[in-house]
Chains A and B, each alone.
Chain A
Amino acid sequence: MNSAKMLCTSAVAAVTLLAAGCGSEPTTSGEGDAFEAGPTEFLVHTGPGGGSDVFAREVTALLEKEQLIDPSSWTVRNENGGSGAAAMVYLRGLAGETDTVALSTPTWITTPLTTPEAAVTVDQLTPIARMVTEPMMMAVTADSPYNSLEDFIAAAEAEPGGLVQAGGSVTSVDAISGGILQEETDVKWSYLSFEGGGERITALLSGDADMMFGSPSDFTEQVRAGDLKVIATIGDEAPPLFPDAPTLADSGVDVEVPEQVRGVMGPPDMPEDAVAYYEGLMQDLTETASWEEFTEENGLTTVFAGSEEFGTTLEEQTDLLSSRLESLGLLAQ
């Protein structure tokens, strides 16, 4: 009987926890009125536990911790279909509304470019704030003969198609960046797609793949343990975690690669005062100590910019990605 009671209590506790996490119903503020901060939905394009979802939940927790928003006033909403397409369709449907913002990643740019089914493009939505970028590093096993990007390119030249890069989907930023480097240096290597991040590192460690692009945090621990070495920054600035990794310019391949920018977007025609509110909120957040700690732990670089500048970034990235996807033969007709 006691155990039954105990079971009951803990079940109630668990359900309460779940309910607290699932949050409240969406509410719609009246249109035309001056904007007032209230319950907000934070839209992400991955399911619970996916990269963007975890990031959004973290941001929400930090906003609460820093008392920038009322407790429990923000809830994460998952619209995880079509590699971002479902979330973008959902957001477009909220034109003019003020109580939903979304977390965007480069997927929001590449999906509409590569899949004809994805009807909404980022330029139809309202940019609010640019938040972080994730620098991209090139890693090989510790005992690999390659000690620089130049070494790898020279080896690829000697053995066209014989070397293997491990990574995600063929339309992901690491694949596109690899493609750009091959085009630029006129060499050829193979690309091995894996669904999960774990499989990629495994392939690299076992020798099935020869190198991999990933964020600093993908590699820090394996580097510390002496299993991997990071030999280059695939970008124009070495991150604090790997200050000595030569940049693309240092490596003699001075070419622009897409950036892993994460930002906050709103629905089309979001009223200016609402945009200004969310923009200010995000700026305040990026200036806190707990934000600094969070980004450092996750190997992210804060690149805050407001609505207008973020819009320019999105345009530039769209241009870069579409021209590169076209030459890689991945652009949708």
Chain B
Amino acid sequence: MEALQGLAGGFAEALTLTNLFFVLVGVTAGTLVGILPGLGPPATIAILLPLTINLEPATGLIMLAGIYYGAKYGGSTTSILLNIPGESASVVTCLDGYAMARQGRAGPALGIAAIGSFVAGTIGIIGFTFLAPLIAAVAINIGPPEYAGIMVFALTSVVLLAGDSVLKGLLAALAGLLLATVGIDIISGAARYTFGQTEFLDGIEFIALSIGVFAVAEVMINVEQKTGRPIFTVPRRLRELMPTRQDLKQSRFAILQGSVIGFVIGALPGAGSTVASFISYTVQKRISPNRESFGKGAIDGVAAPEAANNSETGGALIPLFSLGIPGSGTTAILLGALILYGLDPGPLLFEENPDIIWPIIASMYLGNVMLLVLNLPLVPVFASVLRIPYHLLYPGILIVCIVGVYSVRNSIFDVVLLAVFGLVGYFMRKLDVPAAPLVLAFVLGPLAERAVRQSLIISQNDWTIFLTRPVAAVFLLLALLLLGGSLVGRGRAARKEVLEVDT
């Protein structure tokens, strides 16, 4: 009830003309930032922060929050259209999103991403509004051993994500883990595999790796094929550019489960939207009625990770607003913004500044509606990008890739890496080795490594810590079941194939 009262007060404040305007500015800037690979929400908020400092605290924070969740909407656009994952959370969106685009269904994919994002974003904020104290109390007890369990589960599913060959998937994942070890290890202080290059001290830049193996490799493969036949077909009729009733029906459950998974994982400090989108995709792949079409353009394979990515925001704001603990780069900079506006972010924030916090929450409901209204009409516009003739489209894609990679840390070295990983991705495609396990293992590997080592420091090298902590044990068991189930399933499929060949 208290939450409802607070929310009502928040809406009264958020619905002023000024605040509405700044919600719009925030979500629009967010959408743009999300579409462009490279410059992410933390950077944008940091750059805009000094310019917004003269606004009323609630107004300024409403705008900055808008950038945060607005960017999540835009993230899927380049993944679906051009196979460019602009941020790590959109890697899995590439798999089925781009496959749909190749089938001429870019419109429905973009549409379902927008609708899924809206529903999930709203569910995330509803969760934030009513469950914040409860979730915060749970999240605080999730530590390294629990993360280790979650990461083992996630890495197991990475391998199973591999297309037809588990062996090739495993190879790609191992390559990803190896690449992820490059750089300074914070636990021992050792610089690993840097080959004397200062550029490698911080590790391999994620954007260079992911855009290289996905987008650049894709361009190379397509240019090589040099077929006169168009790779994309874009329907002329507007209706075919939107998701059909059937599409919506197929995605309903995916959006719902993505919303719940994204929200819960978002609330855990240090996990983030990549893990959320990825676990939601895996879950969907296991339970979907049309699981055979996963990786080949399944619409619920787009809906689930996009939903998880957007409801993650609601979850991630819980530790920030109810405890003053930032769980990600973006929430850390938002914490800085709260301090700059003279607030004291901590356990007492809600109690002491309801007049500022509730309008922010209310504005997020409004912002999500605005994002849907902004993004849905843009779907046909974006889908038409694929009508651009190839001799213009491909150089265009490469330019976007290069600018995006360069903008992350103004480094030509990273652009060279982009080219190298483009070649790596090209040969992987030639050898039919899937790229997704490589990129996801690259993201999850360091999280897993750190969590395991941190756990062993806590337990003084006693491995039973992973079994005596219930949450960790449950996830390890799930990983085991997943592995077992999949091996049995594959065995059966193989046997069936043999039988079919025989007859």
Contact = CB atoms under 8 A, between A and B. Distances in A.
Interface stretch (B125-133, B256-264, B327-335, B420-428): B327-335
Contacts of A4: 377
Nearest to B325: A198
Interface string B35-57: 00000001111111111010000
Contact of B29 (A18, A197, A203): A18
B28 A14 contact: yes
B164 interface: no
B25 A114 contact: no
Contacts of B200: 117
A205 B138 CA distance: 12
A57 B44 CA distance: 13
A66 interface: no
A11 B332 CA distance: 26
Contact of A162 (B324, B346, B460): B460
B188 interface: yes
A34 interface: no
B189 interface: yes
A193 B323 CA distance: 21
Contact of A202 (B49, B140, B373, B409): B140
Interface string A207-222: 0110000000100111
B373 A3 contact: yes
Nearest to A6: B24
B28 A197 contact: no
B140 A205 contact: yes
A200 to B, nearest CB: 9
A224 B344 CA distance: 10
Interface stretch (B190-198, B276-284, B390-398): B190-198
A61 B348 contact: no
Contacts of B140: 202, 205-206
A64 to B, nearest CB: 8
A81 B199 contact: yes
Contacts of B323: 222
Contact of B347 (A192, A222, A297, A330): A222
B46 A54 contact: yes
B409 A80 contact: yes
B457 A192 contact: yes
Interface stretch (A82-90, A132-140, A143-151, A278-286): A82-90
Contacts of B344: 220-221, 224
A171 B189 contact: yes
Interface in B264-289: 269-270
Contacts of B403: none
B143 interface: yes
Interface size range of chain B in the complex: 35 or more
A141 B202 CA distance: 33
Contacts of A197: 326, 332
Contacts of B142: 202, 206
B411 interface: yes
Contact of B186 (A14, A18, A80, A195): A195
A161 B458 CA distance: 10
B260 to A, nearest CB: 22
A225 interface: yes
B312 to A, nearest CB: 15
Interface string B9-49: 00000000000000011001100100000000011111111
Interface stretch (A45-53, A229-237, A256-264): A45-53
B47 A225 contact: no
Contacts of A205: 140
Interface in A83-136: 83, 85-86, 89, 114-119
Contact of A86 (B24, B42, B50, B199): B199
A201 interface: yes
B223 interface: no
Interface size range of chain A in the complex: 35 or more
A254 B347 CA distance: 35
Nearest to A13: B25
Interface string A292-332: 00000110000000000000000000000000000000100
Contact of B202 (A60, A78, A83): A83
Nearest to A159: B460
A58 interface: yes
A68 interface: no
Interface in A2-40: 3-4, 6-7, 10-11, 13-15, 17-18, 20-22
Contacts of A6: 24
Given A117-B194, A199-B269, A227-B347, A21 B47 contact: yes
A117 B47 contact: no
Given A10-B25, A48-B46, A61 B32 contact: no
B345 to A, nearest CB: 6
B202 A82 contact: yes
Contact of B457 (A48, A61, A78, A164): A164
B48 A82 contact: no
16 contacts: A21-B50, A49-B46, A61-B53, A81-B409, A82-B201, A114-B189, A171-B189, A192-B144, A196-B269, A198-B326, A202-B143, A203-B143, A208-B143, A222-B324, A227-B347, A330-B189
Given A193-B187, A202-B143, A298-B339, A115 B201 contact: yes
B201 A83 contact: yes
Contacts of A199: 269-270, 327
B454 interface: yes
B314 interface: no
B201 A85 contact: yes
Nearest to A171: B189
B189 A164 contact: no
Contact of B339 (A3, A79, A297): A297
